[in-house]
Structure 1
Amino acid sequence: MNNARYLREADFARYYYFDRSGLYATITKKNGTIIQTASIVRYRRAISIFMPYKIITKLIYWDDRHFYMEQQFIGLKNNFIYAIILNRQTIIGSETPIEDIIANIEPKTCKPKPTKEFELWMETIKESSQNLRNQGKMK
């Protein structure tokens, strides 16, 4: 697979996750929608043509406006993780806090503790956003 194909397949897996979990239906009932606003990919080995694999999608964190997900591309024959994608999904059009959306689906769910790797990625996103804001002020 080429690099673009990983992202395309991850999109389909995310749509499936949001639909099956009930998150999409709950968000649209609150007049919202979801867009991807950040992602990072770590390619470990290439997935060759006709090689069977699966994508595991996990909700790993959330804040007031964003869902953060991890997606692993795993070979079915060897259980090796070929690629990992971290991504941020942002809710737009709704003022409903994500805590309320999650509680509507699974009331006893607690926010996971972020990993160090995830925290570093979030810092990178914040730094990048600040740099872009500063560039906009210079014009």
Structure 2
Amino acid sequence: MYPFLRMVKELIKFRNAPAMRVGDIHISEHRCWPWDIDLWAELNNGRTLTLYDLGRIPLAQRAGLVSVMRKNGWGMTMAGVSVRYRRRIRTFEKIEMHSRAVCWDDKFLYLEQSMWKKNGECANHALYRSAITDASGIVAPERVLSAMGHSAQSPEPADWIKRWIEADAARPWPPMQDKR
């Protein structure tokens, strides 16, 4: 089940937080509850992706994206993700989540998120491709950022981000089906 109450808590918690510029890091704290775990009493990999919403949505709120989306009738969708898992997050363990927009191109905004343990170790790291949409499809990030009052060009993506974007563009779609 989606953590609606946790999302409401995050939005209320950060409703009066200082506004952020595109590229600033939103930091939030979360706990791994019993309903977040798998059979090994650690944070479930699928739940990790859901918990990342708890960082992305308040980030969008603080950056002014949520109000611009409401004003224009736009929505937000995730169009891809790559996650690297490195350390277990156990039941009741507290983590710090870092969320930020890293760059954009003609269609997508790229968001970087990570979860950090109390000892300073990075437990996991994700790169998301997101799109702002309207009834016609994808809204160009340049238009979205302009509506937010942001006129700068995209920061140059790190080499590993460029390679991920290129590799994903070369991936066949739709994927091949086994016709057995």
Shorter chain as denominator, the TM-score bin is 0.7 to 0.9
CA distance in 2, matches of 1:43, 1:134: 25
Contact 1:14–1:57 under 8 Å retained in 2: yes
Report the residue type matching 2:129 in the other structure. Answer: R
Higher relative contact order (CA 8 A, sep 6+): 1
- 104, 108, 111: which one pairs with 1:62? 104
RMSD: 2.1
Matched ranges for 1:97-136 at <5 A: 97-107=140-150, 109-128=152-171, 131-133=172-174
Relative to the length of structure 2, the TM-score reads: 0.66
Partner of 1:92: 133
CA deviation profile, 1:80-123 (whole Å, cap 9, x unmatched): 11100100111221675322322343535441111111011101
Partner SS, residue 126 of structure 1: helix
* Cα offset, 1:68, TM superposition: 0.6
Q: CA 1:115–1:87 in structure 2 vs 1: closer, same or farther (change >3 Å)?
A: same
Q: CA 1:17–1:28 in structure 2 vs 1: closer, same or farther (change >3 Å)?
A: same
CA distance in 2, matches of 1:108, 1:66: 16
Report the residue type matching 2:167 in the other structure. Answer: T
* Cα offset, 1:134, TM superposition: 8.3
Identity of aligned residues (%): 26
Greater mean deviation of Cα atoms: 64-73 or 28-37: 28-37
Instruction: Mark the runs of 5 or more structure 1 residues left unpaired by the alignment.
Output: none
Partner of 1:83: 124
Partner SS, residue 109 of structure 2: strand
Partner SS, residue 122 of structure 1: helix
Relative to the length of structure 1, the TM-score reads: 0.83
Contact 2:131–2:139 under 8 Å retained in 1: no
Instruction: Mark the runs of 5 or more structure 2 residues left unpaired by the alignment.
Output: 1-42
* Cα offset, 1:69, TM superposition: 0.2
**When you count helix as a share of all residues, which structure comes out higher?**
1
Contact 1:19–1:25 under 8 Å retained in 2: yes
